[in-house]
Each structure stands twice: as structure tokens, then as C-alpha cells.
């Protein structure tokens, strides 16, 4: 399943009606606030949400940014994966 990117969003499926998405808000010069993650019922349990979090983590690393995970799902992923902490905002 391909993870695509559009402005402030990583998504799966159709851009107009994605089957899964992770939305972030750029804040200041070096932070991203992840405020929403959605995975449709038909894709749940397939690890798509985790793949969306990996996509935003890799993007933050490439862009030299840190992440503020306000979305409960994303926060849980950061709590479970110490390897993401290099992009976790203080």
C-alpha cells in the first residue's frame, strides 16, 4: 500500500477521499504538530496507521524538524517506539 503526501498530510487511497490519513500542522520553523490520524474500517489491523507515523517521522528527519504528537494514536506510537524520539519535540 503506497503512502502518498499532499500539503500537511500523508494518506493512502484517493486524495479527495483517503482510506487512511495523518494530518500535521507546521508550527514555527522547526516543528510539526500531528493532530489527526484516521484509518478506515476496511484497512484497520493492517499496520497502516503505523506506516503513516513512520512516514511523518522520516519526513521530519529529512526536513530537520521535530514532532509534537497531539493525536492519541501518534502519541502512543511515540511511547512504544524509542527510535522515534530523535524527532520528538521537547
Q: What is the CATH number of the domain that holds 43?
A: 3.40.630.30
Instruction: Give residue 11's pLDDT.
Output: 99
Count of domains forming the chain: 1
39 CB burial (10 A radius; 0-12, 13-18, 19+): buried
Mean pLDDT of the chain: 97
pLDDT over 90 at 90, yes or no: no
Q: What are phi and psi of 43, to 5 degrees?
A: -105, -10
Q: What is the pTM of this model?
A: 0.95
Range of the domain at 78: 4-87
Amino acid at each position: 500500500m503506497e503512502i502518498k503526501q499532499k500539503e500537511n498530510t500523508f494518506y493512502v487511497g484517493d486524495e479527495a477521499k483517503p482510506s487512511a490519513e495523518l494530518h500535521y500542522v507546521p508550527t514555527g520553523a522547526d516543528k510539526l504538530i500531528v493532530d489527526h490520524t484516521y484509518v478506515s474500517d476496511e484497512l484497520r489491523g493492517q499496520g497502516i496507521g503505523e506506516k503513516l507515523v513512520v512516514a511523518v517521522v522520516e519526513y521530519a528527519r529529512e526536513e530537520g524538524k521535530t514532532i509534537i504528537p497531539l493525536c492519541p494514536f501518534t502519541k502512543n506510537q511515540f511511547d512504544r517506539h524509542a527510535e522515534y524520539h530523535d524527532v520528538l519535540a521537547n
